[in-house]
Structure 1
Amino acid sequence: MQYLDDFSVGDRASFGRYEVTREEVLDFARKYDPQPFHLSDEAAAETHFGRLAASGWHTCSMIMAMLVEHMKAHPQASLGAVGIDQLRWIRPVHPGDILRCETEILEVRPSQSRPEMGSLRSQMTAFNQKNEPVAQYVAIVLMRRRPQA
């Protein structure tokens, strides 16, 4: 189990592999972001996307799926996130893309009022199979501190 005390500014991790399928892009768009360029090759061809593109919110969901799988393999004493900052969708994600993630710890801060916990700020970047960044954000996560013996 990794606790807040086990992290340092500058720590990095690389993980995940997510194959983006056309069916999933269409299903997500139909349910949550039914804009034409997420639903139709023809409509997407008339935009800067050039072809069918996943919703940015879908991209965030794929990142979250990879993060949860990573946390299953590397358990953390997470108490959940309080939010994200600086979300950017840098490049479109298309069916057939293969995504992966990298994180870097930006800040480790023990709580002043609750000594059993603290917060981490980390930058998450998702890349496609060409190692091009497709999305990036800063996550703020609450974590337990290592129990004292």
Structure 2
Amino acid sequence: MVYFEDLEVGLAASFGRYEVTREEVLAFAASYDPQPFHLSDEAAAQTHFGRISASGWHTCAMTMRMLVDNITERKQAGLGSPGLDELRWHRPVYPGDVLRVESELLSKKQSQSRPEMGSFQSAVRVYNQDNVMVMSMKSIGLIRVRGD
């Protein structure tokens, strides 16, 4: 199990593989972001996207899946997250793209009011199959303290 004490500031990781499908892009958009350029080839062709693109919120959800898979694989003693900062969508994500994540641990701090937990901040960058950054954010995670 990975605890607060095991986290090393500066540690970088690359992980995940998420294939973006047209069906998933359309289903997510229909449920959560029903803007025409996410739902219609004709409407998308009239925009700077040029074709149907994934919602930025869908990109966040796909990223979250890769993050959780990585946390589960590493058996991290995670306790959720109070939020994130500096979310940016740099480039559109299209059906057929294959996404991956790179992260770097920026800082960590043990809680003074709840010493059984700590928090950490990571720079998270999402790239497509052409190594073009499509999204970035700073995530804040909560994690158990082992208490050696």
TM-score, normalised with respect to structure 1: 0.96
Deviation at 1:18, TM superposition (A): 0.4
Matches within 5 A, 1:1-149: 1-148=1-148
In structure 1, how many angstroms separate the alpha carbons of the residues matched to 2:24 and 2:41?
Answer: 14
Choose 109-118 or 50-59, whichever is displaced more.
Answer: 109-118
Deviation at 1:115, TM superposition (A): 1.7
In structure 2, how many angstroms separate the alpha carbons of the residues matched to 1:11 and 1:72?
Answer: 18
| Identity within the alignment, % | 61
| Unaligned residue ranges in structure 1 (runs of 5+) | none
In structure 1, how many angstroms separate the alpha carbons of the residues matched to 2:70 and 2:119?
Answer: 19
In structure 1, how many angstroms separate the alpha carbons of the residues matched to 2:26 and 2:131?
Answer: 24
Choose 1-10 or 81-90, whichever is displaced more.
Answer: 1-10
| Unaligned residue ranges in structure 2 (runs of 5+) | none
Deviation at 1:108, TM superposition (A): 0.7
Deviation at 1:114, TM superposition (A): 1.8
Write the deviation string for residues 27-53 of structure 1: whole angstroms up to 9, x where unpaired. Answer: 000000000000011111111111110
3-state SS, counterpart of residue 26 of structure 2: helix
In structure 1, how many angstroms separate the alpha carbons of the residues matched to 2:136 and 2:29?
Answer: 21
Aligned residues: 148
Structure 1 residue runs of 4 or more that deviate by more than 3 Å after TM superposition: none
In structure 2, give the amino acid aligned to 1:59. Answer: T
Write the deviation string for residues 103-133 of structure 1: whole angstroms up to 9, x where unpaired. Answer: 1111111112222111000111110000000
In structure 2, how many angstroms separate the alpha carbons of the residues matched to 1:42 and 1:126?
Answer: 28
In structure 1, how many angstroms separate the alpha carbons of the residues matched to 2:17 and 2:103?
Answer: 14
In structure 2, how many angstroms separate the alpha carbons of the residues matched to 1:99 and 1:81?
Answer: 22
RMSD (Å), alpha carbons? 0.8
In structure 2, how many angstroms separate the alpha carbons of the residues matched to 1:140 and 1:65?
Answer: 16
